[in-house]
C-alpha cells in the first residue's frame, strides 16, 4: 500500500475514533489516540497524529485541542447538541407505535450522534414508555405512504382491529381500502394517515400501525378542489382523537386556571375575558371524542354556543350517566 493510501486510511480511522469516543467532557490524549489506532493495525507517532488532526481541521472537521489537559482532543462540530439528542431519544422512547425492537435500534442510531461516553450516560437516563406495538411492518407502511404522497398516487391497504387475544380482526371482510393520501400526522402517541375516499367528500384518518399490506397504486390521486390546499395542521387541531366530525365554531367558557390548557389545545386565537374566566371560539370537529375531552374537566369547560352542539353534549353526558 502506498504511503498516500496509508495516510488516507489513518485519517478516516482517526476521525472515526474521535467521533465515537471523544466529547468535551471526555477528550482523548495523543497517546490514547496512538493506542487506539494500533488496535486497527495502524502505526502512528505523536507527529503523525498532530499532522492528521491539522489536516482534518483544514478540511472543515472541527477537532478541538484542550491545551490545558496535555493536548487532549475531541470533536467539536457535532450536528446535534446533547439536549437535541435527548429530545430525539425521549420522543423515540415514548412512541407507542414503535415495536420494542425498533425502539432499541433507533435509540442506538440516535445515540451515535454523540460520543460513546455521552451516549451511554444519556441512554441510562432514558425512560422507555413506548415500544408497545407488535407491527414490525409499520416502517414499510410509512415508506409506501411517503412514496404515494410524493408521486401523487392512490394507496391501498388492509385495516384491522385487535381481538381479545391480540389477534387481528380485519375490517370489511379483508377487503382492501383504496384512498387518496393527504399526509401523515402524529396525534395521541400514534401516527395516522389522513386521506379521502372517492365515494365520500369528508377526510378520513387511519392508524398506520393498524394498516397491513400497504401498496402504492398505479392510478393517480383523484383531484378535488376542496383538497388542493388541505391544511394538515388545522385538521389535527380541529380533530379530537383523529375522529371525524362536522366542523363548527363553538363558544367555550372556562376559568382562568385552564387558560394554558385552552392555548395548548387550540393554539393562538382571540381570547375574551369575562371577569371570572375566558371565552374562546375555536373551530372543532364535533364528535364524541370532543365531548369526552370536555368531560375530563368536570364541567369547568362549558359549551355556550351553538345551541345544537350544546344539546348534543347534554345528550352525550346523559348517556354516560345512564350507562353507569
- Name the range with the highest mean pLDDT among 76-85, 101-110, 213-222, 227-236: 213-222
CA-derived radius of gyration, the chain: 28
Q: Residue 139: which of 180, 83, 98 has the closest Cα?
A: 98
Q: Among 170-174, 176-180, 204-208, 242-246, which stretch is predicted with the lowest mean pLDDT?
A: 242-246
What angle separates helix 82-94 from helix 116-125, to the nearest 10 degrees? 40
Do 71 and 29 form a contact (C-beta atoms < 8 A)? yes
Kindly indicate the confidence band of residue 176, based on its pLDDT and cuts at 50, 70 and 90. Answer: very high
Question: How do residues 110-156 score in pLDDT, each as one tens digit?
Answer: 877 777 777 777 766 665 555 566 667 788 898 999 999 999 999 99
pLDDT at 218: 95
N- to C-terminal Cα distance for the chain? Answer: 81
Question: How do residues 216-231 score in pLDDT, each as one tens digit?
Answer: 999 999 988 878 888 8
Q: 172: how many CB neighbours lie within 10 A of its CB?
A: 9
Q: What percentage of residues in the chain have a pLDDT greater than 70?
A: 91
Which burial class, exposed, middle or buried, applies to 147 when counting CB atoms under 10 A from its CB (0-12, 13-18, 19+)? middle
Question: How do residues 233-254 score in pLDDT, each as one tens digit?
Answer: 888 877 776 677 788 899 999 9
Q: List b or e across 204-233, with b for residues whose CB sees 16 or more CB atoms inside 10 angstroms.
A: bbbbbbbbbebebeeeebeeeeeeeeeeee
Looking only at the bridges linking them, the beta strands covering 277-280 and 272-273 are antiparallel
Q: Among 24-38, 76-90, 247-261, 291-305, which stretch is predicted with the lowest mean pLDDT?
A: 76-90
- Could you tell me the strand order of the sheet in which 302-305 lies? 272-273, 277-280, 251-255, 302-305
Cα→Cα distances 87→92, 93, 132, 154, 206, Å:
9, 10, 20, 34, 27
**Cell 407507542 identifies what position?**
96
176 or 191, which is more confident? Answer: 176
Q: How many CA atoms lie within 13 A of 268 on its CB side?
A: 0
Q: Is the pLDDT of residue 64 over 80?
A: yes
Q: What percentage of residues in the chain have a pLDDT greater than 90?
A: 23
Amino acid at each position: 500500500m502506498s504511503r498516500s493510501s496509508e495516510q488516507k486510511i489513518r485519517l478516516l480511522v482517526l476521525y472515526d475514533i474521535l467521533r465515537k469516543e471523544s466529547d468535551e467532557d471526555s477528550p482523548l490524549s495523543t497517546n490514547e489516540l496512538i493506542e487506539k489506532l494500533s488496535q486497527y493495525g495502524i502505526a502512528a507517532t505523536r507527529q503523525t497524529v498532530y499532522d492528521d488532526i491539522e489536516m482534518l481541521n483544514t478540511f472543515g472537521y472541527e477537532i478541538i485541542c484542550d491545551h490545558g489537559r496535555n493536548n487532549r482532543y475531541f470533536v467539536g462540530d457535532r450536528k446535534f447538541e446533547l439536549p437535541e439528542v435527548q429530545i430525539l431519544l425521549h420522543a423515540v422512547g415514548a412512541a407507542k407505535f414503535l415495536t420494542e425492537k425498533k425502539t432499541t435500534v433507533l435509540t442506538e442510531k440516535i445515540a451515535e450522534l454523540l460520543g460513546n461516553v455521552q451516549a451511554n450516560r444519556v441512554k441510562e437516563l432514558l425512560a422507555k414508555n413506548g415500544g408497545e406495538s407488535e407491527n414490525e411492518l409499520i416502517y414499510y407502511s410509512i415508506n409506501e405512504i411517503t412514496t404515494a404522497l410524493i408521486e401523487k398516487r392512490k394507496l391501498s391497504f388492509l385495516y384491522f382491529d385487535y381481538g381479545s387475544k391480540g389477534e387481528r380482526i380485519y375490517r370489511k371482510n379483508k377487503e382492501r381500502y383504496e384512498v387518496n393520501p393527504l399526509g401523515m400526522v402524529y396525534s395521541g402517541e400514534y401516527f395516522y394517515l389522513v386521506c379521502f375516499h372517492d365515494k365520500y367528500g369528508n377526510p378520513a384518518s387511519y392508524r398506520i400501525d393498524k394498516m397491513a399490506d400497504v401498496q402504492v397504486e398505479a392510478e393517480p390521486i383523484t383531484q378535488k378542489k376542496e383538497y388542493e390546499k388541505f391544511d394538515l395542521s388545522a385538521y389535527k387541531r380541529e380533530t379530537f382523537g383523529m375522529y371525524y366530525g362536522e366542523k363548527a365554531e363553538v363558544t367555550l367558557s372556562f376559568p382562568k386556571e385552564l387558560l394554558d390548557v385552552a392555548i395548548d389545545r387550540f393554539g393562538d386565537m382571540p381570547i375574551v375575558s369575562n371577569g371570572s374566566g375566558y371565552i374562546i371560539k375555536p373551530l372543532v370537529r364535533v364528535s364524541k371524542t370532543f365531548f369526552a375531552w370536555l368531560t375530563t374537566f368536570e364541567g369547568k369547560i362549558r359549551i355556550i354556543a351553538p345551541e345544537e352542539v350544546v344539546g348534543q353534549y347534554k345528550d352525550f353526558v346523559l348517556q354516560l350517566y345512564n350507562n353507569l
